[in-house]
Amino acid sequence: MDNKEYIVVTGAAGFIGSDLVGYLNQQGYTELILVDEFGYPDKAPNPEGKKYAVQVERESFFDWLTENRPVVSCVFHIGARTDTTEFDYSIHEHLNVEYSKKIWAYCTAHQTPLVYASSAATYGAGENGYDDRHNVVSSLKPLNAYGVSKNEFDKWALEQAGRTNGQGQAASQPPFWAGLKFFNVYGPSEYHKGRMASVIFHSFHQIRQHGEVKLFKSHRPDYKDGQQLRDFVYVKDVIKVCYWLMEHRPASGLYNLGTGKARSFEDLVKATYAGLDLPARIVYIDMPEDIRDKYQYFTEANMQKLRSAGYTAEFYSLEDGVGDYVRNYLAKGAYYE
């Protein structure tokens, strides 16, 4: 290839990845290498209208790199198998562990900064808290195969980063890397995600079709129906943090990425109704048994590490983020540009 510098975005046809491509365009970056499986019609609208240099199929990406030898200034590894109801670990292992190791190896060999997607699913039921300290990673107990795969790669990355050469310098890591533990991300461009789309997405469509929203009952006595708590973070904040890390490169490591404030599913649905200027109507239903014993009742990101690293921007409140998503995207059938 030419001597231009390129930014790689994996998962570029997906939810967060395609929004990140749009944000990079807004910041003036158009020499982008988009990596994904581009043959799915339901994901096809996500990259439309965005500026980039080339699209590369995920499974041929490393051969493509060898053949074309682009100069890459940063890799955003956002692509993953994210279905928490997929119990076949081998599927998650291939995409979320082994493929990520290849990305890491490329970035190490070419001294390319790397920002990759980890997940709050690594925290399991939260028995070890939601603190992104590295010394707790080996003790975490994820509740599903997806969370296990993300935690396995985090552990492996920390092992690589801990290796040194004869001069006491880290020998097996990119010059800068950050693994972002995404909490409950919602926002535009998740139309293709089906069952795995956010509660806001499903609530919006239930309201339009039936005039009411169904939420899972609580199956624990210490949580009332609708009061299960999650750290919901707007995708516009997520992509801003990704960009900030590329620009500022603080200390390498794992970083939580939520708002730092847990909110209830009831609050979330009420905010969705408010975005439509309608009164809330909620019906509680039993949680499917296949996920009942693997369900997180509480997540809340400890955001001190990212703040201490110098990130000062305010995060969207639940009401402002959901309102923007409902009014400007869902109600219009619009995608992030």
For residue range 246-303, list pLDDT tens digits in order.
999 999 999 999 999 999 999 999 999 999 999 999 999 999 988 888 788 999 999 9
- Contact, 260 vs 319, CB < 8 A? no
State how far the Cα of 293 lies from the Cα of 11, in Å rounded to an integer. Answer: 29
- What pLDDT sits at residue 296? 83
Kindly tell me if the per-residue pLDDT of 170 is higher than 60.
Answer: no
Q: What is the pLDDT of residue 74?
A: 98
Q: Residue 279's beta-bridge partner residues?
A: none
Residue 32: pLDDT over 70: yes
Question: Does the pLDDT at position 6 exceed 70?
Answer: yes
Given a cut of 70, whether residue 70 has pLDDT beyond it is yes
Place of tokens 């990212």: 306
The average pLDDT across 122-140 equals: 95
Q: Is the pTM of this model over 0.85?
A: yes
Sign, CA dihedral 255-259-265-268, equals negative
Question: Residue 248 has what pLDDT?
Answer: 98
Q: What percent of the chain has pLDDT over 70?
A: 96
> What DSSP designation does 315 have?
P
Contact 149, 97 (CB under 8 A): yes
Residue 312 structure tokens: 């000062």
pLDDT for 294: 79
Coil/strand/helix, residue 305: helix
Mean pLDDT of the chain: 94
User: Among 1-5, 54-58, 121-125, 243-247, which is the least confidently predicted range?
Assistant: 1-5
pLDDT score for 174: 96
Determine the pLDDT at residue 217.
96
Active site residues: 146, 193
Residue 69 tokens, joined: 């030898």
Q: Which pair of tokens denotes residue 86?
A: 């997929």
Residue 166 has pLDDT above 70, yes or no: no
- What pLDDT shows up at residue 219? 94
Give how far Cα 49 sits from Cα of 21, 46, 82, 217, 337, Å: 11, 8, 25, 41, 7
| Structure confidence by residue, pLDDT tens digits, 134-146 | 999 999 999 889 9
Q: How much is the CA Rg of the chain, to the nearest whole Å?
A: 20
Positive or negative: CA dihedral 99, 101, 104, 105: negative
Confidence of residue 81 (pLDDT cuts 50, 70, 90): confident
Q: Tell me what the mean pLDDT of segment 143-169 comes to.
A: 84
Q: What is the pLDDT of residue 168?
A: 53
Q: Give pLDDT, residue 92.
A: 86
- CATH placement of domain 5-187+232-260+300-316: 3.40.50.720
Q: Give the pLDDT confidence of 209-239 residue by residue, as tens digits.
A: 999 999 999 999 999 999 999 999 999 999 9
Q: How far apart are CA 89 and CA 69, in angstroms?
A: 33
Two tokens, residue 157:
């990355």
Phi then psi for residue 73, to 5 deg, are -90, -20
The four Cα atoms 218, 183, 157, 177 give a dihedral, to 10 degrees, of: -170
